[in-house]
Structure 1
Amino acid sequence: MKSGVSAGSAGERRAVPEFGATSEVDRLRTVLLHRPGDELKRLTPRNNDQLLFDGVPWVDRAQAEHDVFADLLRSRGVEVLLLAQMLTETFAVSGAARVQGVTAAVEPRRLGRALADELAGHLRQIAPGELATILMAGMTFDELPIGPSEASLVRRMYHGSDFVIDPLPNLMFTRDSSFWIGRRVAITALAMPARKRETSLTDLIYAFHPRFLGVRRAYESHTAPVEGGDVLLLSSGVVAVGVGERTTPAGAEALARSLFDDDLAHTVLVVPIEQNRATMHLDTVCTMVDDDAVVMYQAVHDELSAFTIHREDSGVDIRGPVPFVEAAASAMGIGKLRVIDTAIDSITAEREQWDDGNNTLAIEPGVVVAYERNVETNNRLEASGIEVLRISGSELGSGRGGPRCMSCPIWRSA
């Protein structure tokens, strides 16, 4: 894709933003990240399981680790867009975005009509940055800025530390709520209650931010769950979709049919994975590291299979299952898919899989970002000719996500 230009009113020429991706490994040009913020400070030993964290992270350290990650990408020529800034800018330019964001966060069914109306009216009037922070970090009853309402039984009965608006601590995993395929963006449907509202914020940015005006949608689902961590763009026209804890068979089928209808793919591989937290997404056991290579959790190397869905003139053709590595190579039109296992011994492999050793972010063919703690996996990648850019993830990893989970590529150039 070539970068275009448009003329300004004074004859100046400015670059037209580029969008899109057809592969996991093409040169990364623009990426959407979310620097963890006050939403992580909402995690306690009492609620961290419900909010999908394995522990209570040290927030300052998590932010420092994320800053290093973002700076590393910038040093490699990647434009980094930050979700909080994009959301603030969206609210600044669009009243409709403000109304929709507040409506998604304020639930009359839980708060009662009187309190919900009062809170919504307040939130629609505050500054864009403050609104963005509240919608991301949540709000407790103690933090309600409005005076006690005699008409609200809800307010009288809840504890002050209970949430009026739930926080979104998993928002830093920007891969899940949207992904780009071709020149279109797909808005997903997240399965877990703690994460469902994340897509409402992502949706607002793509719908109302000036950067994305005119961008077309590839897929939108509000029923069958599909999460971006389960979607791998193996090559142009070939997409793998994991089905397990988060993405359902119905979601995978709906996504495949939508991609076929929009001529964004000709083959979709549906890959069953175990339904547990350790393997919540396909990218926790397998990610692309080169045009013809993946890093894969050793324990699933011989077990991972795929149903192949082809687009046909009369509809779709579903075949399989067959071994994933065979199905992928055939669909990609290559002789063999190179597989770099996490580790030889099973104990190390299991430890490094849990620490997101397979969750790498490719910034160009053969160059990936990975957590430094996965020593054996990183050594095996380098022994196979892959350049590994190491970052710390001791606090970021408490939410069960690696560099790929924390990034939504907006533009990759072939």
Structure 2
Amino acid sequence: MKYPLHVTSEIGELKTVILHRPGREVENLTPEYLHRLLFDDIPFLPAIQKEHDYFANALRNQGVEVLYLERLLEESLHSKAIQEQFVDQILEESKSNINGARHNVKEYLLHGSVQDLVEKVMSGVLKTDIEQEKKVHLYELMADHYPFYLDPMPNLYFTRDPAAVIGKGISINKMNEGARERESIFMDYIMKYHPRFAKHNIPTWFTRDSKFSMEGGDQLILNKHTVAVGVSSRSTPQAIEKMAINLFKHQKEITKVVAVEIPKSRAFMHLDTVFTMVDYDKFTIHPAIEGPDGDMRIFILEKGEEENRVTIKQRNNLAETLKEVLELKDIVLIPCGGGDPIAAAREQWNDGSNTLAIAPGVVMTYDRNYVSNKLLRQHGLEVIEIPSSELSRGRGGPRCMSMPVYREDI
């Protein structure tokens, strides 16, 4: 079997990607719990599914193999023992909402097909899903008014964040927000039990049981030697250093990890919401991540002389740092919204900088970001636009919605 993981750049020809088609978990959003579940609005399910299907078909039209997270998980839970182990872990990590009804919830999840099990876990378990006559304890009958035993997982269609392929290994991430912590369980099971992946000794550079958080939207593979990671509201410097140590210790190709600090705000959630690579020497950027005179806090981590230590060099200019680590004489930073303060803010809110490269100079973007898309074309890029009226409500763009597992080398 062909080795299943290989990502050595952001722009190499994309061959295989993991998506999640939005499902009933989106319909379990209500205004009262939007903040808890990290949404600003409620997408219309039939419309968001239609837009996501367009996205998936656009990828297929470019020759990309599309794998669905939900199907991979179903195929990973191929025995009763694995299914029960999976449910026990989900319940353990969701215990704040079980309210003493663990036995009934476990029975409900395991009743039916594997497809039913996966859908229930992703969609959430309402208290009304458990039959009234099974609630034999007073604390079940008098539980609080929160409607869920298990919260829905509406952020799942952003498959980029729970895990990231780096080289021939994977980072299975510790998610920062409680609403998303369970998402990386899925990729953990897929790597361990799915026939496509389990037969290979796939190295794990970072694990979800870490004390410190890191998310895939902050992890960018600039080339086969260099990984950039955003120091953001979701990814911590401690996690970045830990991953760097593991990379330097267990493989030889990647020799640099570049930690890039970005503003910690909702609009600038991850590094890829303000900065992505679109060609050998071209990058999208939201200018607001750069301070006065382009000053930023950037750190280049390399292997130290002592085991489990790194050397750290500080830089303060993104363009100069990119030229240094990529060994380029010049680079082009393409500003979101053309740098216009109104257009840039509007299109940044709708992920104008969050581009997904299909190949060098070929990118997918949201159609609503027409100012940024025009500028990308003026810089010689091929831009494939996808509809985004509902997809954009989750505050993530095409890169956020995709987890590459295989790219050709550049």
Shorter-normalised TM range: over 0.9
Q: What is the number of residues matched between the two proteins?
A: 398
**Unaligned regions of 5+ residues in structure 1, if any?**
6-15
Structure 1 residues 151 and 403: alpha-carbon distance in aligned structure 2, compared to 1, 3 A threshold: same
User: Which amino acid is the alignment partner of residue 218 of structure 1?
Assistant: W
What's the CA shift string for 1:48-77, capped at 9, x where partnerless? 121111101111110000000000000010
Secondary structure of the corresponding residue to residue 318 of structure 1: strand
Structure 1 residues 369 and 179: alpha-carbon distance in aligned structure 2, compared to 1, 3 A threshold: same
Residue 284 (str. 1) matches residue 269 (str. 2): no
Residue 265 (str. 1) matches residue 254 (str. 2): yes
Residue 410 (str. 1) matches residue 405 (str. 2): yes
- How many angstroms apart in 2 are the aligned matches of 1:293 and 1:197? 35
Residues 115 and 155, structure 1, Cα contact 8 Å, conserved in 2: no
What percent identity do the matched residue pairs reach?
Answer: 38
Secondary structure of the corresponding residue to residue 364 of structure 2: strand
User: Which amino acid is the alignment partner of residue 293 of structure 1?
Assistant: K
Q: How does 1:298-377 map to 2 (within 5 A)?
A: 298-301=287-290, 302-314=294-306, 315-342=309-336, 343-377=338-372
User: Which amino acid is the alignment partner of residue 322 of structure 1?
Assistant: N
Report how far residue 17 of structure 1 moved.
5.5
What's the CA shift string for 1:278-329, capped at 9, x where partnerless? 0010001000001221110122342444111112333321111321221122
Q: Which residue of 2 aligns with 1:220?
A: 207
Residues 119 and 146, structure 1, Cα contact 8 Å, conserved in 2: no
What's the CA shift string for 1:239-262, capped at 9, x where partnerless? 111011100111111121121112
Residues 94 and 208, structure 1, Cα contact 8 Å, conserved in 2: no
What's the CA shift string for 1:363-395, capped at 9, x where partnerless? 100000000111111111111111100001111
TM-score, normalised by the number of residues in structure 2:
0.93
Structure 1 residues 249 and 96: alpha-carbon distance in aligned structure 2, compared to 1, 3 A threshold: farther
TM-score, normalised by the number of residues in structure 1:
0.92
Report how far residue 97 of structure 1 moved.
3.2
- How many angstroms apart in 2 are the aligned matches of 1:236 and 1:348? 34
Q: Which residue of 2 aligns with 1:12?
A: none
Q: Which residue of 2 aligns with 1:255?
A: 243
Runs ≥4 residues deviating over 6 A: none
Residue 396 (str. 1) matches residue 391 (str. 2): yes
Q: Answer with 93-102 or 275-284: which moved more.
A: 93-102
- How many angstroms apart in 1 are the aligned matches of 2:69 and 2:226? 28
User: Which amino acid is the alignment partner of residue 248 of structure 1?
Assistant: T
Q: Which residue of 2 aligns with 1:76?
A: 62
Secondary structure of the corresponding residue to residue 277 of structure 1: coil
Residues 219 and 229, structure 2, Cα contact 8 Å, conserved in 1: yes
- How many angstroms apart in 2 are the aligned matches of 1:62 and 1:157? 34
Q: How does 1:10-409 map to 2 (within 5 A)?
A: 16=2, 18-91=4-77, 93-107=78-92, 109-110=95-96, 115-145=101-131, 147-151=133-137, 153-159=139-145, 162-213=147-198, 214=200, 215-222=202-209, 223-263=211-251, 265-301=254-290, 302-314=294-306, 315-342=309-336, 343-409=338-404
